[in-house]
Structure 1
Amino acid sequence: MISINRRALVRFSGSAAALASLPFTVRAEDAPATTDVPLPPIDIFAESPLIDEIALSPDGKRVAMVTQSGDAKLLMTFNVDDIKPKTLSLGPIKVRNLFWGDNDRVVVIDSQTTSLPQFTGRKQEMSLGRVIDLKTNKLRTLFERREDFYSIVVGGVTRVKVDGEYRLMASNYRMSGEYNRCLFSFPLDKAGDRLIYESSKDTQNYVIAPDGYVVAYAEFIDDRKKWTLYYNRAPRGKMGIFKPIYELKEALDYPSLQGLGRDGASVVVYFNKGETKGEYHEINAEGIMGPSLDTSEDVGSTDALFHPVTSRFVGFARTDDWIKYDYEDTLLRKLAGALTAVLGEDYRAAIIEFAEDPRKMIIYGENAQDAGTYFFVDLSTGNTRLLAMNYDKLPTEWITEKKPITYKAADGLEIHGYLTLPPRKPAKALPLVVLPHGGPQARDRIGFDWQVQALAANGYAVLQPNFRGSSGYSSRFVNAGHGEFGRKMQTDLSDGVRDLVKQGIVDPKRVAIMGASYGGYAALAGATLDPGVYTCAISIAGISDPKSFNEFIAEKAGGSDSSSVLYWKQFTGDPKNWDAISPARQAANASCPILLIHGTDDTVVPIEQSRRMESALKKAVKPVEFVTYKGQDHWETVGSARVEMMKAAMAFLGKYNPA
């Protein structure tokens, strides 16, 4: 078991020099806790975590991580057994993924907010694939020398090994003809990329074997509402000969192609509707479906797991409050079972990545005193290394843990969520911040949340309700949210407030609501559609008007009957009633001051939604403040803007709902 003394770690300044000197392997006895540690400033909570991305080389000998200095990203690489970090500045890019292409080159996936003429809608977030040679520091962008292609990647980038050589598989749209999706193979160390297969523009994703053979791909034609699974009949080494083996007519809840089956020839498909709803099935080359792969009665979130070397299905990751690994593979099951012995019973652990020898891995752990730490573990030797701590400046005395809670909504539906109480305060008559999640078909979990910690440390109880419509419980619970946008999805939040007031934990006169994305809508709806509950509302990148938002989705997706529009209509209900659930159109009913926060580069919820709300509130002579951040996206990628956003939110809370 690892013993970590957080106070013994050198504090991290963010400079390249400090990065290079970070003592990754410090281990010491725990120092005695003290009670006189001052409250850290908001920056300590809101600054980006130390690690954006982290990856392990195929041979398990090297680690790469992306961290930051200000808003610039830094790539660090080092040997596990002889840590002498090498640092390379990547500039102010938005990193979305990091992995090793081979043992000497890393692949960085970043994104840019831009408009391209051939793509429908407004600005979009476009991904780029970069290969960085660590010996020369030279960078190469995939598709940069291909005519008829932008230098972007569509979908994931996959590492394969062809005749002993590591290569990358990535796809892109050909900007001519029918805009078909083309899958290419790229060498890592030289030119020589080649087209593997050209499928239709409606292609969703490919299943690629570890040797680069394309086994299958899925296609969804939105206009025809048809999902098709294509299987490769060509022998290895030949161009693909794909034949349709399974078809389904479905407007919205069509299947999802997941990966290779257990035999390496069949494929795994997840079904979203019908008798097989919520089930994973193997489909063989003849299109014959096997029995459900999951015999568990667990109704929480379930994701298929695939072997790090063979890419074949090996089990499930089940997530409720935290992740649990249910491997069929004997070795992987033993490795997952060893995590508790490595970190201790009080740690929540997650596997980040395996090497090709899966006994070598990077794992993540957190508990009530640890805001998140990454470790290298070699279970063949027992070697364990502490790699990095996400919030090394945050004193343990100011970390407080979420507690799972349940309460009943007004109609009797049981709502599960989390309550975080402020440290050093009795749980009585506390000021509360309700913090609904985005999605809305998503959920909160028990893991460390910087925003929750910032609020709790500053004296607020924080309620995170997984209201009806949230994922991770059952399809019935999701369906209970359909048509309840601004209705029961909203009162599920205030029912939680009333439950805490009834218990005496919360002061009913000091309740605020704050959220981002759908949570931003819920904050605005709390102020306008559910009056008398909240003293103030903070909307971060929130939807303010379902009608104009659905029009934006239709423009972006290329039609009012697209699957994206149908998804939102499930929740927003009959368009005839949209005005009644529109905070912007109900602005005259606002019962408390509202703070609007939005980034100019938001491609998910456009900043026009906040501008519309501001205009409506001003017209109704209601108190409103509006803060914009140039270049900030929907995911709060720009760290400095995230810090300023949280400072603005805390100042607003201090003014209208003081702790």
Structure 2
Amino acid sequence: MIVVQYISRGFLRGGVGDEYPIFPLAAEGFAVLSLQRPPDFYETVKDGSLRSIRDAQVADQREWQDRRSVHSSLLGGVAIAVSRGIADPRKLAITGSSDGAATVQFALVNAPGLFAAAAVSSGFMEPLSTQVFGGQAWAAQLVDLGYPTLETGQSAFWQPMSVGMHADSINSPILFQVADDEYLLALESYSLLKAHRRSTELYVFPNEYHIKWQPAHRFSIYNRNVDWFRYWLLGHVDADPSKDRQYARWRSLSSTVAPTPLSTP
């Protein structure tokens, strides 16, 4: 089963950003779980303590409370699919763009071994990514919301979220397909994963932005995502000779360990 997210608007093509083609994936035999993320954490705070947009944003970020809320919904949805026999707990995958990529990241760190493969359309949030590569304006905004600056201690804050800090223990193959406007935000995680010989690939698409718009790029992304999940979940290799180099690279990537089955409710 492949998780597509992070807002489910009904008759979807490929989730937010339209990069994970639901119907072609289903045609390959995958169950597809379209995840609607829950409301922001701040909406659950009813004591009147949140008096501004900034208060709400700070509440979301404090101890990663909003990410924990989304993660709980993700695990609940997957557990239901597994308990009903819809999904094989050994062959689960997750995808995401933007906020959805953060959900993927949090799941890889906090539910290690659950997902046998992952694909993202945006970079992960990491200490240097947020304070350097994203630019000074974004860094200042995040610091205002409670993120640490570069001169303060980073480890305790980032420990529940950083893929880079857990790169030595993340065994899920991760495919990055990112816009050239944002690729710097993917380099920290990707470089640390590669340094620890994890199974990962990074593709950068020129003249693209947060939501990729060029049809040729969208088509290429569709095809590669389908190939990625067929390979890592099913062991399938496309006979098309034009893909020989792709599969040669994937074979050379480090082996992954079997995911830990999710306990059902």
**If the length of structure 2 is used for normalisation, what is the TM-score?**
0.68
Q: Which amino acid aligns with 2:95?
A: M
Q: Is residue 636–residue 642 contact of structure 1 (8 Å, CA) maintained in 2?
A: yes
Q: Does 1:516 align with 2:101?
A: no
2:83 to 490, 496, 502: 502
- CA spacing shift, 1:475–1:528, aligned 2, 3 Å: closer
Aligned CA RMSD, in angstroms, stands at 3.0
What is the alpha-carbon distance in structure 1 between the residues aligned to residue 164 and residue 67 of structure 2?
12
Q: Does 1:434 align with 2:14?
A: no
1:541 to 89, 102, 122: 122
What is the alpha-carbon distance in structure 2 between the residues aligned to residue 635 and residue 491 of structure 1?
26
Q: In structure 1, what is the equivalent of residue 8 of structure 2? A: 444
What is the alpha-carbon distance in structure 1 between the residues aligned to residue 143 and residue 28 of structure 2?
40
1:226-375 equivalences under 5 Å are: none
1:57-136 equivalences under 5 Å are: none
Q: Which amino acid aligns with 1:436?
A: Q
Q: In structure 2, what is the equivalent of residue 22 of structure 1? A: none
Q: Is residue 444–residue 466 contact of structure 1 (8 Å, CA) maintained in 2?
A: yes
Offset of residue 636 of structure 1: 0.8
- CA spacing shift, 1:486–1:547, aligned 2, 3 Å: farther
What is the alpha-carbon distance in structure 1 between the residues aligned to residue 143 and residue 121 of structure 2?
22
- CA spacing shift, 1:590–1:462, aligned 2, 3 Å: same
What is the alpha-carbon distance in structure 1 between the residues aligned to residue 232 and residue 196 of structure 2?
20
1:581 partner SS: coil
2:88 partner SS: strand
1:507 partner SS: coil
Q: Is residue 513–residue 534 contact of structure 1 (8 Å, CA) maintained in 2?
A: yes
Structure 2's unaligned 5+ residue stretches are 15-20, 46-55, 148-152, 237-265
Q: In structure 2, what is the equivalent of residue 639 of structure 1? A: 215
- CA spacing shift, 1:521–1:581, aligned 2, 3 Å: same
Q: Which amino acid aligns with 1:457?
A: A
Q: Does 1:580 align with 2:149?
A: no
2:130 partner SS: helix
What is the alpha-carbon distance in structure 1 between the residues aligned to residue 66 and residue 166 of structure 2?
14
Q: Which amino acid aligns with 1:580?
A: P
In the alignment of these two chains, the number of paired residues is 210
2:165 partner SS: coil
What is the alpha-carbon distance in structure 1 between the residues aligned to residue 192 and residue 159 of structure 2?
13
Moved more, 500-509 or 546-555: 546-555
2:31 to 456, 461, 465: 461
What is the alpha-carbon distance in structure 1 between the residues aligned to residue 124 and residue 74 of structure 2?
17
Q: Does 1:657 align with 2:259?
A: no
What are the Cα deviations for residues 164-194 of structure 1, in whole angstroms up to 9, with x where unaligned?
xxxxxxxxxxxxxxxxxxxxxxxxxxxxxxx
Q: Is residue 513–residue 538 contact of structure 1 (8 Å, CA) maintained in 2?
A: yes
Q: Which amino acid aligns with 1:475?
A: E
Q: In structure 2, what is the equivalent of residue 9 of structure 1? A: none
What is the alpha-carbon distance in structure 1 between the residues aligned to residue 194 and residue 131 of structure 2?
24
Q: Is residue 468–residue 481 contact of structure 1 (8 Å, CA) maintained in 2?
A: no
- CA spacing shift, 1:519–1:597, aligned 2, 3 Å: same
What is the alpha-carbon distance in structure 2 between the residues aligned to residue 470 and residue 640 of structure 1?
35
What are the Cα deviations for residues 274-332 of structure 1, in whole angstroms up to 9, with x where unaligned?
xxxxxxxxxxxxxxxxxxxxxxxxxxxxxxxxxxxxxxxxxxxxxxxxxxxxxxxxxxx
Offset of residue 554 of structure 1: 6.0
Q: In structure 2, what is the equivalent of residue 229 of structure 1? A: none
What is the alpha-carbon distance in structure 2 between the residues aligned to residue 523 and residue 580 of structure 1?
13
Q: Is residue 501–residue 508 contact of structure 1 (8 Å, CA) maintained in 2?
A: yes
Q: Is residue 481–residue 489 contact of structure 1 (8 Å, CA) maintained in 2?
A: no
What is the alpha-carbon distance in structure 2 between the residues aligned to residue 612 and residue 642 of structure 1?
25
What is the alpha-carbon distance in structure 1 between the residues aligned to residue 159 and residue 97 of structure 2?
21
What is the alpha-carbon distance in structure 1 between the residues aligned to residue 159 and residue 198 of structure 2?
19
Q: Is residue 529–residue 586 contact of structure 1 (8 Å, CA) maintained in 2?
A: no
What are the Cα deviations for residues 72-130 of structure 1, in whole angstroms up to 9, with x where unaligned?
xxxxxxxxxxxxxxxxxxxxxxxxxxxxxxxxxxxxxxxxxxxxxxxxxxxxxxxxxxx
Offset of residue 452 of structure 1: 2.3
What is the alpha-carbon distance in structure 2 between the residues aligned to residue 635 and residue 611 of structure 1?
19
What is the alpha-carbon distance in structure 1 between the residues aligned to residue 131 and residue 73 of structure 2?
24
Q: Is residue 123–residue 187 contact of structure 2 (8 Å, CA) maintained in 1?
A: no
What is the alpha-carbon distance in structure 2 between the residues aligned to residue 547 and residue 623 of structure 1?
22
Offset of residue 524 of structure 1: 3.3
Structure 1's unaligned 5+ residue stretches are 1-431, 438-442
Q: Which amino acid aligns with 2:116?
A: T
1:532 to 90, 96, 113: 113
Q: Is residue 519–residue 542 contact of structure 1 (8 Å, CA) maintained in 2?
A: no
2:188 partner SS: helix
Larger Rg: 1
What are the Cα deviations for residues 425-447 of structure 1, in whole angstroms up to 9, with x where unaligned?
xxxxxxx111232xxxxx33214
Offset of residue 596 of structure 1: 1.3
Identical-residue share of aligned pairs (%): 21
What are the Cα deviations for residues 503-556 of structure 1, in whole angstroms up to 9, with x where unaligned?
111111111011112212322333333112111111111324155325555613
Q: Is residue 109–residue 161 contact of structure 2 (8 Å, CA) maintained in 1?
A: no
What is the alpha-carbon distance in structure 2 between the residues aligned to residue 626 and residue 516 of structure 1?
14
Q: Is residue 129–residue 184 contact of structure 2 (8 Å, CA) maintained in 1?
A: no
Q: Which amino acid aligns with 1:618?
A: K
